[in-house]
């Protein structure tokens, strides 16, 4: 099973991929919640558009790190496909916002994502960049990335709680250690 086989009937994803292919000045990739959630939806037999909000698009261009350039690409995408809430980010500058060392490549930027199931990008020809592979995503496993475990302690569990993934996609799997920690934090927040 691969991402294209899972998503080839998803109208929204196909529309996004087609839109990305019309931008020729950068090599754009779909990533984040739209990609991850679309796959989770399919694997849960949910509606294709369940929990699909803004569309995270990434690229890597160290020669133009201006936010205005990202907005320019967003505006181009809005003209092509106004039904999508586009969010375009040049990963050559995102290390500053994230408090990381420079990424050096799109692969390295994805390596710094908090969970393996989100550290996946899909290009206009359905090519995949996934520094941790796609098995966790396809197996519905929530796994903290090595980068996050080392440099951003607590971020992974905070995201699981904040985004309520376990409530929205009940077949998602967590390690027992993470499940226990998440339950304890949710309980302490409820008591406070």
Whether 42 contacts 141, CB under 8 Å: no
Q: Which residue do the tokens 């754009």 mark?
A: 28
Q: Find residue 121's DSSP bridge partners.
A: 31, 129
H or E, element range at 176: helix 176-191
Q: How confident is the model at residue 1 (pLDDT cuts 50, 70, 90)?
A: confident
The predicted-structure confidence for 112-138, as pLDDT tens digits, reads as follows 999 999 999 999 999 999 999 999 999
**pTM exceeds 0.75, yes or no:** yes
H or E, element range at 155: helix 155-163
The predicted-structure confidence for 77-118, as pLDDT tens digits, reads as follows 999 999 999 999 999 999 888 888 899 999 999 999 999 999
């Amino acid at each position: 099973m691969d991402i294209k086989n899972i998503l080839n009937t998803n109208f929204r994803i196909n529309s996004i991929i087609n839109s990305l292919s019309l931008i020729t000045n950068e090599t754009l990739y779909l990533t984040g919640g739209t990609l991850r959630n679309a796959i989770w939806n399919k694997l849960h037999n949910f509606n294709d558009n369940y929990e699909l909000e803004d569309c995270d698009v990434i690229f890597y261009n160290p020669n133009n790190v201006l936010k205005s350039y990202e907005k320019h690409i967003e505006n181009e995408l809005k003209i092509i496909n106004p039904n999508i809430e586009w969010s375009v980010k040049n990963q050559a500058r995102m290390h500053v916002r994230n408090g990381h060392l420079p990424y050096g490549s799109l692969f390295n930027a994805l390596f710094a994502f908090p969970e393996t199931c989100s550290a996946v990008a899909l290009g206009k020809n359905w090519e995949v960049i996934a520094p941790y592979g796609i098995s966790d995503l396809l197996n519905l496993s929530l796994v903290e990335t090595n980068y996050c475990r080392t440099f951003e302690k607590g971020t992974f569990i905070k995201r699981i709680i904040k985004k309520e993934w376990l409530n929205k996609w009940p077949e998602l799997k967590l390690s027992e250690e993470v499940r226990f920690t998440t339950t304890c934090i949710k309980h302490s927040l409820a008591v406070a």
